[in-house]
Structure 1
Amino acid sequence: MKLRTVPIFILLLWSSAPLLWQLYTSFSTDQALVTPFAELAGRWTLQHYRSVISSNPPFFLYLWNSFFVGALSTLLTLLVALPAAYSLSKMPTAKSNIVRMVLIGCALFPYVLLFLALLEIARTLSLGNSLFALALPYAALSQPLAILLLGSAFAAIPSELDDAARVEGLSLLNRFRWIYIPLLAPALASTAILIFLFSWNEYPIALTWISDQSKLTLPVAMARIAGSSIHSVPYGAYAAVTVLGAIPLILLVIIFQKPIVSGLTSGAVKG
C-alpha cells in the first residue's frame, strides 16, 4: 500500500464505521451485544430482520410513505425554485446579492424554531394525517437552499445563449424545456438529492402532523416498530431498521452518482 493511500483508507474506515457497526448489530443476538468478546455459539441471527419485516403495518409501507413524501416535496421544491433561480440570475448584481444574503439567512435558520407555528397552521387547516400536506412544509423549508444552488448554476450559463434563444423566438417555457433543464441536469440532480434526503430524514414535523399508524414516515416508525420500553432498548431491531432504511438511499446515490458529483463541482473550475 502506497503511503499516500493510508490517509484515504483511514478516512474511508472512519466514514464507514457507523454503517459497519449497524450491520454487525443487526445480525448479532442480544446476548452477543451484551458480551461482544465472549465465545457464543449462536452469535449471529436474522431474527431482528424477521421481526421488522413482519411488523404490522408492514415495514415497507413506511418506506413507501417516506419515498412518496420525499419525491413529492422534491418535485414541488424544484417547480418553484427553478423559475425563482432564473429570476435571481437575471437580477442586477446589487439586488441579487441582497436576495442571496436573505436566502442564506433563511437556509441557515433552524427550522425547529418554526415548529409551533407550523403545528398551529396544520391544526387550523386540518392538514394532519396527510402525506401530501406533509410534503408542503418540507418543500417550503427546502426553497432557500434550492434557489441558491440553482441560481449559481443559472449564473454559469452564458447570457449570449439566452439572447440567441430569444432571437430564435423561443418562449421562456421552451427555453426551459430545450436549453436550461438539459444544461442544469447535474445541478438539478444534486439539488434534488439534498431535498430528498432532508425530507426522508425529517422527524419533528412528521411526528406531530401524522398520527395514523399506516401513514407514518420511516424516522417516526423507527421509534415504534420495535416496541421499545423504558426497561429494554431493542438495539438489534433498531439496527435492522436503519440498515433497511439506508438501502434505498445508497442505491439512489449510486444510480445518480455522476450527475450528483458533476452538479456539486460545477463552477469550481473555469475553462
Structure 2
Amino acid sequence: MKLKSASIILLLAWSLAPLLWQLYTSFSTDQALVTPFETMANRWTLEHYRSVISANPPFFLYLINSLFVGILATLLTLIIALPAAYSLSKLSTTKSNLIRIILVGCALFPYVLLFLALLEIARALSLGNNLFALALPYTALSQPLAILLLGSAFTSIPPELDDAARVEGLTLINRFRWIYIPLLAPAIASTAILVFLFSWNEYPIALTWISETSKLTLPVAMARIAGSSIHSVPYGAYAAATVLGAIPLILLVIVFQKPIVSGLTSGAVKG
C-alpha cells in the first residue's frame, strides 16, 4: 500500500512539475530567476502578468482567436465525423476493418509532411489571415481519429434499437437527435476535447497561414514572446503567458471531466 501511495505521489510530481515551475517562474523577479538561492528580498512580482496583459494587441485577443478556431474546427469535425462514423458502423466487417486500417494510417501519418502542400493551397485560394480558413485544415486532419473513436462508439449501440427507431418512422436526422447523440454523448465529448486540444496547440500551419498580428493564435503569439529580445529570453513573461493560456484548458477539463473519462473508458470492459 505504501509503495502504491509513493508511486502515485511520484506520478503526480512528475506530471505537475512543469506547470508548477512555470507558475513559480511567472511570479518570480528576473533577479530571483538568475540567482534563485541567493536573493530573498523582492523575489515575487506581478510585473510579468502586467506586461503580458497590457501588450498591444492585448494577450487575451490571442486567446479569443484560438478559442474561435478551436471551437469552429471541433464543430466542423463532429458534423462530418458523426455521419461518417455511423456509415462505417453499418458496413460489413471486411469493409469496415479495411477502412479502419486506412483511417489508422491517416491518423498516424505526420501531418508536417503535408505542410508545403497546405501552404500552396492557402496561397492559391487566398486563405491567409483568415481564422475561419485556418479551421479547415484542422478539421481535415482531425477526421481520421474522430471517425475511429465515434465509429467504435456506434458499434456499441444495439442494432435492435436502430431497427425499432426505423419502425417508428424516425428519419436519420431524428435518430441522431433523439437516440445517437444522447447515447454517445460521452464519446462525442471526449472526441471533441481531443480535436479542440489539437487545434489549440497546433503551431506550424498557424504560423504560416496567419501573418497579421491581431489574428495570431496563442502558440504563435507565445513563440513571439519567447523570441521578442535578442539579448535575453523573457522567461517571466513567457511563463505568465503559458499560465494564462493554460487556464481555459484547465477549466474545460474540469467542467467536462466526467464525460471525458466516461467516453475514453467506454467499451474498455464488456460485461
- TM-score range (shorter-chain normalised) is over 0.9
The letter of the residue matching 1:234 is P
The aligned counterpart of 1:111 is 111
The letter of the residue matching 1:201 is N
The letter of the residue matching 1:149 is L
**The residue matched to 1:55 in structure 2 has which SS?**
coil
Following TM superposition, by how much is the alpha carbon of 1:50 offset from its aligned partner in structure 2, in angstroms?
A: 0.2
The letter of the residue matching 2:55 is S
The letter of the residue matching 2:88 is L
The aligned counterpart of 2:52 is 52
Write the distance in 2 (CA, Å) between the matches of 1:138 and 1:230: 33
> Is contact 1:63–1:217 with CA below 8 Å preserved after alignment?
yes
The aligned counterpart of 1:250 is 250
The letter of the residue matching 1:186 is P
The letter of the residue matching 2:145 is L
Q: Deviations over 1:239-268 (max 9, x none)?
A: 000000000000000000000000000001
Structure 2 residue 18 is matched with structure 1 residue 15: no
Write the distance in 1 (CA, Å) between the matches of 2:194 and 2:227: 31
TM alignment of 1:58-207, pairs within 5 A: 58-207=58-207
> Is contact 2:29–2:43 with CA below 8 Å preserved after alignment?
yes
What is the RMSD computed on CA atoms of the aligned residues? 1.0
Report the TM-score when normalising by structure 2. 0.98
Write the distance in 2 (CA, Å) between the matches of 1:72 and 1:256: 18
Unmatched 5+ stretches in structure 1: none
Write the distance in 2 (CA, Å) between the matches of 1:197 and 1:4: 31
Write the distance in 2 (CA, Å) between the matches of 1:171 and 1:206: 40
**The residue matched to 2:121 in structure 1 has which SS?**
helix
Write the distance in 1 (CA, Å) between the matches of 2:4 and 2:145: 35
The letter of the residue matching 1:68 is F
Write the distance in 1 (CA, Å) between the matches of 2:43 and 2:81: 51
Following TM superposition, by how much is the alpha carbon of 1:40 offset from its aligned partner in structure 2, in angstroms?
A: 2.7
- How many pairs does the alignment contain? 271
The aligned counterpart of 2:223 is 223
Write the distance in 2 (CA, Å) between the matches of 1:40 and 1:91: 68
> Is contact 1:69–1:199 with CA below 8 Å preserved after alignment?
yes
Following TM superposition, by how much is the alpha carbon of 1:3 offset from its aligned partner in structure 2, in angstroms?
A: 4.0
Write the distance in 1 (CA, Å) between the matches of 2:102 and 2:47: 51
Question: Which stretches of structure 1, 4 residues or more, deviate above 6 A after TM superposition?
Answer: none
Q: Deviations over 1:52-89 (max 9, x none)?
A: 00000011100000000000000000000000000000
Write the distance in 2 (CA, Å) between the matches of 1:266 and 1:71: 24
Report the TM-score when normalising by structure 1. 0.98
Write the distance in 2 (CA, Å) between the matches of 1:226 and 1:107: 31
> Is contact 1:57–1:213 with CA below 8 Å preserved after alignment?
yes
The letter of the residue matching 1:132 is F
> Is contact 1:29–1:236 with CA below 8 Å preserved after alignment?
yes
Write the distance in 2 (CA, Å) between the matches of 1:226 and 1:202: 17
Write the distance in 1 (CA, Å) between the matches of 2:167 and 2:135: 39
> Is contact 1:203–1:220 with CA below 8 Å preserved after alignment?
yes
Q: Percent identity?
A: 85
Write the distance in 2 (CA, Å) between the matches of 1:60 and 1:171: 44
Write the distance in 1 (CA, Å) between the matches of 2:121 and 2:201: 22
